[in-house]
Amino acid sequence: MQTIVVITTDSIWKQALQAGEYTQSTIDSTLSEVGFIHCTIPEQTITIANRHFSDKTGLILVLIDKSKVTSEVKFEASLSGRPGLYPHIYGPLNINAAYAILPLEKDASGQFIEPEELKTS
């Protein structure tokens, strides 16, 4: 199984559960605005969380089985030019592709801490 990760909030995820699909691109933008859902692979997740969401609290990680995603998933270069390929979901995320929800906690310095479950995904 290949894991991809969505960084979101508990309230956004609960809305997705009610709707039956996840349609945010990022916490602050929608799929319809951007055209795809931003994701990471486990090794990229904490770096991205600290880079883009350091001012946020109450975040969760949605661990997704890529093989269960019904929309197209493409691994593409970052628009910012950062090295590496990032998974993008081109369409709504079917919620039954998610297999775990992890809280994203911060340490005393305000940096996100990598959950143990993410290390083994």
How far apart, in whole angstroms, are the C-alpha atoms of residue 76 and residue 56?
26
- Predicted model pTM: 0.93
Q: Which two tokens stand for residue 3?
A: 């894991």
Q: What angle do CA 4, 64, 113 make, to 5 degrees?
A: 65
Domain range 3-115, CATH architecture:
Alpha-Beta Barrel (3.20)
Q: Where are the domains of the chain?
A: 3-115
How far apart, in whole angstroms, are the C-alpha atoms of residue 55 and residue 22?
23
Tens-digit pLDDT string for the chain (121 aa)? 899 999 999 999 999 999 999 999 999 999 999 999 999 999 999 999 999 899 998 999 999 999 999 999 999 998 777 778 999 999 999 999 999 999 999 999 999 999 988 877 7
How far apart, in whole angstroms, are the C-alpha atoms of residue 30 and residue 24?
4
